Amino acid sequence: MEQKKEKKDSTIKKLLSHGGKHSKFTYIGMALSGVSAIVVLFTIVYVWVTAKEALLAYPNISFEQLAPNAILALSAAIVGALIYIAALMCTHISAFRIARNLRTEGMKHLMKLPLGYFDGAGSGKLRRTLSENIGDTEGFLAHQLPDMVGAYVTPIAVIVMLFVFDWRLGLLSFVGIIACFLPYAMMMGNSRDNMELYMKALDAMNNEAVEYVRGVPVIKTFGGSIFSFKKFNDTIDEYKKRVSLICQGYRLPMILFQALLASLSFFMIYGGIFMLPKAESTLELLVDLVFYILFLPTCNTMIMKVMWMSEATGKAELSYQAVKQILDAKPLSYPEITQTPTSFDIEASGVTFQYPNGKVNAVENVSFTAKQGQTIAFVGESGGGKSTIVSLIASFFDVAEGSIKIGGIDIRNISEADMMKHISFVFQNTKLYKGSLLDNIREGNPNATTEEVERALQQARCEDIVAKMPNGLNTKVGTGGVFLSGGETQRIAIARAILKDSPIILLDEATAFTDPENEHEIQLAMASLAKDKTVILIAHRLSTVKNADCIHVIGGGHIIESGTHEDLMAQNGEYAEMFQEYTAAFDWKKLAERNQGVMA
């Protein structure tokens, strides 16, 4: 219990640590909320005093006699409400500032994280954390925290008040309240753990939902159902289980609580009857008893609020933890003193790397050299480690062992800006962002003139794409504009890379775009891009690697063979076998195409 309280306090403190000097408004707001709760209680006190006066004076009730206390009751209500509004204004100032700071810190930190982080984190989860989780902490600080102070202060003040007015009835009420809450509190002991699991299940389901929506085209194409996405289905089942567990957990305690609450009046009436013979004034005791009976259920509802508040704190804690996970994610190692490469040989020695969530090394003890201007190709089985090697050269992740050098400088000592300046990548899953075609290409070099863009488009063989656009280069792509095919998108990405004109090119050859026209154009565009550059190529078609200066065959995270096409064919090893299979498949394809031609 102690430990949990400490954790709760520290979460509030940690949240406030993001508010700078504005955090003090939270404390002021909390204090004002406590004051407002006490002031509002005076409304009840004066209503009671007025009612008591009226009942005791009955039937000679005079307005003049009742008016002062009635006015005090009304004033207490108005002043209490005004103080509460001031409290909320203070907590909102601080909550908005903290949410803004958390979002800014989160976004800034994301910019420092290795690109590889985004593969593992899931964009759905990141969006939810930065938007919804931070929104939750804002709601907590702005509303629930001041209400929580009120919720704690009110029952304490009420119990004191009940004792002050009539200690015997006060004692009776106190016993009644404890009797109502005891079973509830005992049974709900583990609700916090359940809540934590519920929040995790909700998070996992939201994350998978985004991946599911992304995969809808695939599901539709293959006539699948939601069951094609087993992970999503599993997260829905887990969520269902957690919701049902939470509801079941509440069932008995809530029934008991409500039943005991309903019986409280009986308990008080019996207690009151027991006290009657000893009362100095029967009428006064009866009037007090009526008030206690009417007031007590309200008091219980106030205490109930405290219970809900602890859940709200739990939710805020989990939301903050999600934000902290982003803020604590390890950025790439940043050198204190950076060096700028002036030549562009790439040299990898003894490179070993394991993905954060991986169980084995994705690449192990990989060494190779690509001299400036050379083309080095990686071929081999799927999952062998080709993309990982290229990701490491691009600094998506830090290598665990060994080093990668560009122009003799370890890439860990090259600034991110220099890395991005000197390297272009064209990967298979290239994306164009919403904007004009010109903006998309100019991303490669924002200062390029229209002529330079046009030249790049010409070299990337994109003229036919531009020609069919309704507004030429100014045509908007993406939602609300035109959509380009996968092959066309890749050619535009190549144009972008040509415009960037960086000395190192990382290429992942397209396999998805099999229409022969696009494929041919892409090959020619890639050849233009690769001219006079240091090129690292992941090749899926062996025909494209024949002219590479060196081909590395990758398998199981290791380089298993290296050499030129001729060397490797002469070795008659893995590559030669792959090449023979490839040529056989290619001949078969040609034969099938020829047959199709004859039949047509």
Instruction: Choose among 323, 346, 350: nearest CA to 140.
Output: 323
Q: Is 129 in the site for ligand ADP (CB under 6 A)?
A: no
Which class for 251: exposed (0-12), middle (13-18), buried (19 or more C-beta within 10 A)? Answer: exposed
Residue from 105, 119, 196, 211 binding ligand ADP (CB under 6 A): 119
Q: Six-digit token pair at 410?
A: 């370890």
Kindly tell me which of 20 and 120 has the beta carbon lying closer to ligand ADP: 120
Q: Is 382 in the site for ligand ADP (CB under 6 A)?
A: yes
Min. distance of Cβ 381 from ligand ADP in angstroms? 7
Min. distance of Cβ 260 from ligand ADP in angstroms? 54
Kindly tell me which of 189 and 356 has the beta carbon lying closer to ligand ADP: 356
Min. distance of Cβ 349 from ligand ADP in angstroms? 19
Kindly tell me which of 481 and 555 has the beta carbon lying closer to ligand ADP: 555
Min. distance of Cβ 457 from ligand ADP in angstroms? 29
Kindly tell me which of 119 and 416 has the beta carbon lying closer to ligand ADP: 119
Residue from 43, 313, 375, 388 binding ligand ADP (CB under 6 A): 388
Binding residues for ligand ADP, rule CB under 6 A, total: 13
The whole-angstrom separation of Cα 364 and Cα 437 is 41
Residue from 106, 146, 341, 384 binding ligand ADP (CB under 6 A): 384
Kindly tell me which of 163 and 355 has the beta carbon lying closer to ligand ADP: 355
Phi and psi (nearest 5°) for 506?
-110, 120
Residue from 189, 350, 383, 472 binding ligand ADP (CB under 6 A): 383
Min. distance of Cβ 359 from ligand ADP in angstroms? 9
Min. distance of Cβ 382 from ligand ADP in angstroms? 4
Residue from 99, 158, 362, 423 binding ligand ADP (CB under 6 A): 362
Q: Are strands 476-477 and 346-353 parallel, antiparallel or unpaired?
A: unpaired
Q: Are strands 550-555 and 558-563 parallel, antiparallel or unpaired?
A: antiparallel
Q: Is 114 in the site for ligand ADP (CB under 6 A)?
A: no
Min. distance of Cβ 487 from ligand ADP in angstroms? 20
The whole-angstrom separation of Cα 300 and Cα 177 is 7
Q: Six-digit token pair at 365?
A: 């003890």
DSSP tag of 405 = E
Q: Are strands 435-436 and 476-477 parallel, antiparallel or unpaired?
A: antiparallel
Residue from 114, 155, 176, 385 binding ligand ADP (CB under 6 A): 385
Phi and psi (nearest 5°) for 306?
-60, -40
Which class for 492: exposed (0-12), middle (13-18), buried (19 or more C-beta within 10 A)? Answer: buried
Binding map of ligand ADP across residues 322-361, x = CB under 6 A, - = no contact: ---------------------------------x-xx---
Min. distance of Cβ 388 from ligand ADP in angstroms? 3
Q: What is the 3-state secondary structure (H, E, C) of 37-83?
A: HHHHHHHHHHHHHHHHHHHHHCCCCCHHHHHHHHHHHHHHHHHHHHH
Instruction: Choose among 520, 545, 548, 519: nearest CA to 534.
Output: 548
Min. distance of Cβ 563 from ligand ADP in angstroms? 19
Instruction: Choose among 312, 324, 320: nearest CA to 140.
Output: 312
Residue from 97, 128, 386, 496 binding ligand ADP (CB under 6 A): 386
DSSP per residue over 461-483, as a string?
A: T-HHHHHTSTTGGG-EESTTSB-
Binding site for ligand ADP (CB under 6 A): 119-120, 355, 357-358, 362, 382-388
